[in-house]
A and B are shown apart, each in its own frame.
Chain A
Amino acid sequence: MKPYVSVLKLRLLNGMQYRSAALAGVATQFFWGFMYIMIFEAFYSETVHSQPLSLKEIITYLWLQQSFLAFIMLWFRDNELFDLITTGNIAYELCRPCEIYGFWYSKLLAQRLSSAILRCFPILLVAYLLPQPYKMTLPPSVLTFVLFLFALIFGLLLLVSISMFIYISVFLTMSPIGSLLLFGVIGEFFSGLTIPIPLMPAWLQTVAYFLPFRWTADFPFRVYSGNIPQNEALIGIVIQIIWLVLLVWLGRIAFNKALRKVVVQGG
């Protein structure tokens, strides 16, 4: 475990250096946040039925989405790793005395963590201080907040394990763009980033609930606003862990298989 933790630490410190880039990102995220809120506000302003997700819950959902973008976006990538695969420099990685899956996993995890840490606090802080209706609400109770933290962390771990499959697929295709696009579009849609999952039609919700993607974004954010009650949240966290174990297990098998077939292209 020790080498993985130190990789995580090193990368985390490295990622924290890009502070001005993060600041620019924060500005962009605010724009998107405001825009989406206004769109939903317009949709909700004349609706007669009660919706499965109230406008207040959606606003909180959207701000969480903007602040933890690095935790939930599949297209957030490490080009270095792609280059390793396509240029053949993977040979160096193979010489390391630790398993590459874990090594890369911690690298990707650190990259997402550092980016989110830099961005989430300013966004959350300002979102709490905004006037109504844009204000982000606090979670209904302390316990909900604790559950949210757990859900968020397991969601992140789960997302990294999904994103590992993108890197594994590049071993086969040698071109990262295709897999990135496919995973990105499908993952984004079924984790409820295009529109929140409760607002989808019933048949699509069934599909979304069947896939692992929703556990990375939709689930933690709805736990936060209390849209998912506490006892259900607990069960959800258990399901998250099951998915995580399953995907890491499958990922490692696929990874080792891909490595066995690896052809190092030139020097």
Chain B
Amino acid sequence: MAIHPTHELHGRRWSRNLGLGLALAALVAIVFGLTVVKVSRQDANGNPPGMSQGAGN
């Protein structure tokens, strides 16, 4: 009997690994995007928007 290199089980594992990989990649992209948004909206003192009366002064 020929040995099949991929069993149906391998397909399921592949779907799980691919899904997890994509989910982690998405998380990295979101954290990066959030960082860009938060940093680019800071004022000259490094305060978030609407907080310029705070610790910076």
Q: Do A and B bind each other?
A: no
